Amino acid sequence: MLRQIEGSRAVADAVAMCRPEVICAYPITPQTHIVEALGAKVKAGQLRPCEFLNVESEFAAMSVAIGASAAGARAYTATASQGLLYMSEAVYNAAGLGLPIVMTVANRAIGAPINIWNDHSDAMSQRDAGWIQLYAETSQEALDLHIQAFRIAEDLSVPVMVCMDGFLLTHAYERADIPSPDQVDNFLPGYEPRQVLDPAAPVSIGAMVGPEAFTEVRYLAHARQSQALTLIPEVVAEFTKTFGRDSGGLVRGYRLEDADTVVVALGSVLGTIKDTVDELRGDGMRIGILGISTFRPFPSAAVREALGSDGRVKRLVVLERALATGVGGIVSADLRMALAGGGSGRAAEPVMSTVIAGLGGRAITRMSLRTMLAEAVAGALEPLSFLDLNKGLIEREFIRARRTRRSGPVAENMLRDQGLTARIG
């Protein structure tokens, strides 16, 4: 059924149709609407049997999910930003224990300075936690990915994080096709855990493992993630059959056919990039897009395949909504690994430029993208650049820092320079 619906509510509808048995969460903007909507459904009895737990922290939220999942219940939670970091120890633990928990991350920047707006720093910080990470481009895709996430998680015994851009997707009203509960039931069988806490067949879960087998345990986790590279396309194919639309997957190409310049990005910014690329194509530039839907496991082979091995792609522009401070791009590093993994016989690798953009909610505009991509095509883009960086602001801070060794809190200095007073609570 087509509805004009807030992204968070669309996701709550999808999660509810997946029949989670335990939902636990701790509030943090911009995740709140999802959990509140789910709470209302539990209250209305639309989700029986389901236990909704108000926990005292994100660490507890993930811990409750761990206990519930180990006891054989389908468990769901959602968080963002500081909350994801606060639960980090348990995030790793859930993956180590092989528990198929599904979690929404409503992507938001990490402080300090505290910032409630969107970027990908939170999810990126947990990229090696052992979770599968799926990134949604639209509300529709966020909805669809949640349904796929439970399937993938339970098929592989690996937890799945569905990442959706805070505010841009969680709070935007878009048209979405809401499936019927029957469709979801047909697609997603009940959860049958491989190993469960059961007095009839007692097992010890979470025992200590020493050096003699730890590498093997980790290797198997890696192997299971690698299986996801085969499973995810199969799940998408089945999803398309059941729901009549294509959603998610490993990577999604756009106008790649003859592209010599390819923009790589994740999440909702892909929409803006598509519009920009359409315009630039009108100007005669041969630009295409590679959207990464599955970031963990990293779909190296799919990336290579999408970019071809004939040397047609001369330039890659990686637009990243997170920064590896002191290094640059996070996705870029994985892309380099992927391209290097193609073996010999490949044409020269494309020139790669990393563009850090949209940090802490800064809008990524078509105008800025146009300018940056034109530079890229002209071969003038630096290996690492920051979109719309206010150089004047930084220069003033540099000068201040040179004048006195202690220049005070940087963030406040810059707000003062801009003539802004803090308005954010």
Partner 1 sequence: MPYQSIKFIQTGSLAVGGRLLAEDQRSVQSGAQRSNSLTLGHRACQGCGEALGARIALDACQRATGGKTIAVNATGCLEVFSTPYPETSWQLPWLHSLFGNAPAVAAGVAAALRAKSRDDVRVVGQGGDGGTVDIGFACLSGMFERNDDVLYICYDNEAYMNTGVQRSGATPYAARTATTEPVGPEPGNKFGQGKNVPMIAMAHEIPYVATATVSDLRDLEYKVERAMEFRGARYLHVLVPCPLGWGSAPESTIEVARLATQTGLFPVFEAEDGEVVSATPIRHRTGVRDYLRIQRRYAHLFKPAERTEMIDRIQRGADRNITRFGLLPADDIDAELATVGAGRAEEITS
* Smaller CB separation from partner 1, 55 or 333: 55
**Do 385 and 379 contact (CB within 8 A), yes or no?**
no
Min dist CB 69 to partner 1, Å, is 8
57 binds partner 1 (CB under 8 A): yes
Nearer to partner 1, 206 or 379 (CB): 206
Q: Which is nearer to partner 1, 182 or 198 (CB)?
A: 198
Q: How far is CA 22 from CA 50, 77, 108, 200, in A?
A: 5, 9, 25, 22
Q: Does 72 bind partner 1 (CB under 8 A)?
A: yes
Q: Rule CB under 8 A: which of 342-381 touch partner 1?
A: none
Q: Does 42 bind partner 1 (CB under 8 A)?
A: no
Among 5, 50, 161, 317, binds partner 1 (CB under 8 A): 50
- Alpha carbons 280 and 265: distance in angstroms, whole number: 17
Please count the CA atoms within 13 angstroms of the CA of 359 that sit on its side-chain side.
23
Task: Confirm or reject binding of residue 59 to partner 1 (CB under 8 A).
Answer: yes
Q: Residue 34 Cβ, how far from partner 1 at the closest point, in Å?
A: 19
By CB under 8 A, residue 22 contacts partner 1: yes
- Asked if residues 72 and 191 have their Cβ atoms less than 8 Å apart, the reply is yes
91 binds partner 1 (CB under 8 A): no
**Which CB sits closer to partner 1, 199 or 284?**
199
Q: Of 69-77, 111-119, 157-165, 351-359, which segment contacts partner 1 by CB under 8 A? A: 69-77
The nearest distance, CB 227 to partner 1, in angstroms, is 23
**111 binds partner 1 per the rule CB under 8 A:** no
For residue 55, state whether it binds partner 1 (rule: CB under 8 A).
yes
Cα gap 248→369, rounded to integer Å: 24
- Residue span 207-246 as binding mask against partner 1, x where in contact by CB under 8 A, dash where not: xxxx--x---------------------------------
CB contact at 8 A, 323 and 358: no
Residue 341: CB atoms within 10 A of its CB come to 12
Distance CA 123, CA 332 (A): 16
Distance CA 420, CA 280 (A): 36
DSSP assignment of 210-263 equals: -HHHHHHHHHHHHHHHHHHHHHHHHHHHHHHHHHSS----SEEEES-TT-SEEE
Burial 168-195 (b: 16+ CB within 10 A, else e): bbbbeeeebbbbeeebbeebbeebebee
250 lies in the binding site for partner 1 (CB under 8 A): no
Answer yes or no: are the C-beta atoms of 288 and 262 closer than 8 Å: yes
CA angle, 296 as apex, 74 and 316 as ends, to 5°? 150
Q: Which of 10, 16, 75, 265 binds partner 1 (CB under 8 A)?
A: 75
Which position among 97, 178, 384, 411 is part of the footprint of partner 1 (CB under 8 A)? 97
Stretch that binds partner 1, among 122-130, 154-162, 204-212, 341-349 (CB under 8 A): 204-212
Smallest distance, partner 1 to C-beta of residue 23, A: 9
User: Which parts of this chain interact with partner 1 (CB under 8 A)?
Assistant: 21-22, 24, 49-51, 53-57, 59-60, 63-73, 75, 89-90, 93, 97, 197-199, 201-210, 213
